[in-house]
Structure 1
């Protein structure tokens, strides 16, 4: 694998994912032959799926599965060569269903698929600086019809508002009930969607009036963190390495990706923004923005934003969080929790 040490410096200590030691299922009859398995695989690799037969059973056939999807069938104790090209990054759960003497038994194992992409170190240029309300514990940040909208957290003080980013003048604000800790927002199909943190509750508002139209319960047992959309689907985070893909019409989870930078699983993915086909995301408590491929989860670029702190009156606990793309100016706005400023920037390689 390539050397990714510079990324660890930028992320200021993101913990490496477990090194993917292959695990065999507890099965006294058959186990996966993992003697040649590697700690990590990349999408260019293929893996040989085969089982050990210590009791010399007469095997009729084996059906192989990867992530519960059937990938092949072999007569006898033949091995199956499986190409990893189209698999999502993260752990791949392997299963072999072995048929013998009118019976069947399963063997299981897992391997870890990591990214083979070397992220580019990106540069930014500050175009303008604007005031930001220091009482705002920023969770969501998004432009809608050239107006900046922001949602905030903390129980008892959570709200979302739209305002003039040049002056700070608030056009409209909706306060959440004190039982809710507000999180990410996104606008799609004439609606405003909002998450809450640990209450497993989301809200759908009319995008023009901010009138509440629907309350929904999270389909998965997850926390609510950041939100964005690609014009068709909503993407949201839950405080792990996962980015979930949701159908806005049904609020059902369709899929998810795992975010990796090289061999490192990037946890605590937070606020999101869809920019030119990529997902830009804050990493919780890091002065960095990762640019993620939404199809694979591979980090393709890194923005080291630590240089912004010299312009701020903030504490180390006031973390970077808030990315909003203005399609009219083609610039990106960034801020943080309780920051006194927001920055309009351009990004280049």
Structure 2
């Protein structure tokens, strides 16, 4: 437990308190019986669902939903045991549609599903130190065909570039219109995708020429933060605990996960990198990188990167941001906003 609390401090700053947030139905005919509900559940547990019928109505049947997905039908007031193992972490919105006497009525409640994984404290070793442009307000970092690409933010100063990370020599740079605040990038299907912060606009470039091919609008009312991909889908962040899954062909959001470290949400997950089947993510304003299971959002490992601050000329506001995996060297490159150095590291338990 002490080890877990220490990791929470690294990643979250504090260990967030949890709260029971069960909601009773808005009507007085039926309610979901939450008398045995806990504040939080873990995936190995099950949930007992039952309906309270204070007016002793003759109930024909009940259809149960979790997050608007039908999970079961029951006759009369039969109870239901629902296994939580296949649910995504986060709040589970429960709904019972009760049929009685030719009518129906809804009852609702909510419980929180948290991670049962205790994150491991990972360690890193610096294998090389490279120059980094101190004027770069780093938002995205990614290798494509052995070449490093970086995107930066700030209105009027946003650009992305490809360059020689060993020398800092810029091969090509594309500046964004001053109305855009550049954010994360990722390469997939020979295209480069780029987000903007609050403009709800994304760009698709030809990966070879870096010429703009398409502009698209976000299909959700979210901000644009970090980006990565698994070779088939794009993953992006939006300043919350969510990592969205996007179809690169349609630019539509098809799913999301909620990032949890133990029983606490990890807010403001930022820059992303897909490394060996896991998502490595910066946490905004924290000198830490979380290693996330992309299937359920559970934080499995934490890298305390605070030691890097002693090696760069930065202010407290120059946050760690930028993760790029080089498959050729099997090393990870990390830097920060306006840092004068970039570090090539290896990671182990």
TM norm structure 2: 0.98
Q: What is aligned with 2:28? A: 28
Q: Is 1:89 the counterpart of 2:86 in the alignment?
A: no
Equivalent runs, 1:244-255 vs 2, <5 Å: 244-255=244-255
**CA deviation vs aligned residue, 1:179-224 (integer Å, no higher than 9, x gap):** 0000000000000000000000000000010000000000000000
Q: Structure 2, unaligned stretches of length 5 or more?
A: none
Q: Is 1:226 the counterpart of 2:219 in the alignment?
A: no
Q: Is 1:320 the counterpart of 2:312 in the alignment?
A: no
**CA deviation vs aligned residue, 1:229-262 (integer Å, no higher than 9, x gap):** 0000000000000000000010010100000000
**Equivalenced residues, count:** 349
- Cα distance in 2 for partners of 1:34, 1:316 equals 45
**CA deviation vs aligned residue, 1:151-195 (integer Å, no higher than 9, x gap):** 000000000000000110000000000000000000000000000
Query: Given the superposition, is the C-alpha separation of residues 114 and 257 from structure 1 closer, same or farther in structure 2, using an over 3 Å criterion?
Result: same
- Cα distance in 2 for partners of 1:2, 1:115 equals 17
Q: Secondary structure at the match of 2:6?
A: helix
Q: What is aligned with 1:8? A: 8
Q: What is aligned with 1:184? A: 184
- Cα distance in 2 for partners of 1:77, 1:220 equals 38
Query: Given the superposition, is the C-alpha separation of residues 246 and 310 from structure 1 closer, same or farther in structure 2, using an over 3 Å criterion?
Result: same
Q: Secondary structure at the match of 1:4?
A: helix
Q: What is aligned with 1:132? A: 132
- Give the drift of 1:329: 0.2
- Give the drift of 1:24: 1.3
CA contact (8 A) 1:279 1:294 kept: yes
Q: Structure 1, unaligned stretches of length 5 or more?
A: none
- Give the drift of 1:20: 3.3
Equivalent runs, 1:96-115 vs 2, <5 Å: 96-115=96-115
CA-based RMSD of the aligned residues comes to 1.2
TM norm structure 1: 0.98
Q: What is aligned with 1:166? A: 166
Relative to structure 2, which stretch is displaced further, 72-81 or 15-24?
A: 15-24
- Give the drift of 1:8: 2.2
- Cα distance in 2 for partners of 1:291, 1:209 equals 33
Q: What is aligned with 2:52? A: 52
Q: What is aligned with 1:310? A: 310
The 4+ residue runs of structure 1 with deviation greater than 4 A are none
